[in-house]
């Protein structure tokens, strides 16, 4: 078995319970592949040297460490500094440790998901997270999803996070304008910022113009009046010709607009 795990650490899975509790064999296996820690006896999952050896080459091995070592502050702090998402395997006590959670979100802002409810409601921590990645707002407390300063920081970083804020703040013009100005290329997303704003803002010329300049398909969610606004539609099809499908029938029959659209997306001629 020692020869087997020296060659392939995960071979430990097929060892007898006795050999899965053999320190030399286990240390060899996890040094070869940290994931082998899942096949180690409960006793050796509490062995600090073995767990550190496993974490050295597979940081998510913390999942298989003993409860005591998942509550070891030094170990957890070291691993979340390398991969914030490993916070999910820390003890409940350390998920409520301010320094550890800050280290985790500084590495990976979305690790806020695994912080304790108390820290998801901690203004400083949430603000730090959304300043790195606005999408972290989805894991903040409901109270902080309604905090204007935090929401503004989040949408300035990632406009689509507007969908996670209160209806009151979705009706805040400064926040909405910041969100559409920070729209990302949403080819991999099903939503657009304008979907989450009030009819009033879908008919707000400045907001809609900013939206279609950032991402032309936002035109779909503009008011009927603005989908018939020549300047807005021209801006949209200049950005991406396929936006023509969302223009009014009248503007789909406008020669300059159609020419601009097919120039930017010739396959849309049909």
Q: Which tens digit of pLDDT belongs to each residue from 18-74?
A: 999 999 999 999 999 999 999 999 999 999 999 999 999 999 999 999 999 999 999
Chain-centroid distance, C-alpha 93: 24
Looking at residue 95, its pLDDT comes to 98
Residues in the chain with pLDDT < 50? 188-189
- pTM score, whole prediction: 0.83
Tokens of 105: 């979100």
User: In the numeric block, which tokens belong to residue 199?
Assistant: 């009819």
The answer to whether 162 and 184 are in contact (CB under 8 A) is no
Residues 6 or more apart whose CB falls under 8 angstroms from that of 3 comprise none
Q: Helices 173-181 and 148-157 sit at what angle, rounded to 10 degrees?
A: 20
pLDDT value for 267: 59
Q: How far apart are CA 175 and CA 171, in angstroms?
A: 8
DSSP state of 65: S
Spatial distance between the Cα atoms of 19 and 34, rounded to a whole number of angstroms: 17
């Amino acid at each position: 078995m020692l020869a087997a795990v020296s060659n392939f650490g995960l071979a430990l899975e097929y060892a007898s319970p006795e050999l899965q509790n053999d320190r030399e064999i286990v240390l060899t296996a996890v040094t070869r592949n940290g994931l082998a820690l899942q096949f180690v006896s409960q006793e050796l999952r509490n062995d600090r040297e073995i767990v550190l050896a496993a974490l050295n080459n597979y940081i998510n091995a913390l999942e298989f460490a003993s409860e005591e070592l998942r509550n070891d502050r030094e170990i957890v702090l070291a691993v979340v500094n390398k991969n914030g998402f490993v916070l999910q395997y820390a003890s409940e006590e350390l998920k409520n440790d301010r320094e550890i959670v800050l280290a985790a979100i500084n590495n990976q802002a979305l690790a806020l998901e695994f912080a304790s409810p108390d820290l998801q409601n901690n203004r400083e921590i949430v603000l730090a997270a959304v300043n790195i990645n606005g999408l972290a707002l989805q894991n903040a407390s409901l109270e902080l999803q309604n905090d204007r300063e935090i929401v503004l920081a989040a949408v300035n970083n990632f406009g689509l996070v507007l969908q996670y804020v209160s209806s009151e703040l979705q009706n805040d013009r400064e926040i909405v304008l910041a969100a559409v100005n920070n729209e990302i290329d949403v080819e991999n997303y099903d939503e657009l910022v304008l979907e989450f704003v009030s009819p009033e803002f879908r008919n707000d010329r400045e907001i809609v113009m900013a939206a279609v300049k950032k991402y032309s398909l936002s035109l779909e969610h503009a008011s009927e009046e603005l989908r018939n606004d020549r300047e807005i539609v021209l801006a949209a099809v200049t950005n991406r010709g396929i936006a023509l499908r969302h223009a009014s029938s009248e503007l789909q029959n406008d020669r300059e607009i159609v020419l601009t659209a097919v120039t930017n997306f010739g396959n849309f001629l049909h």
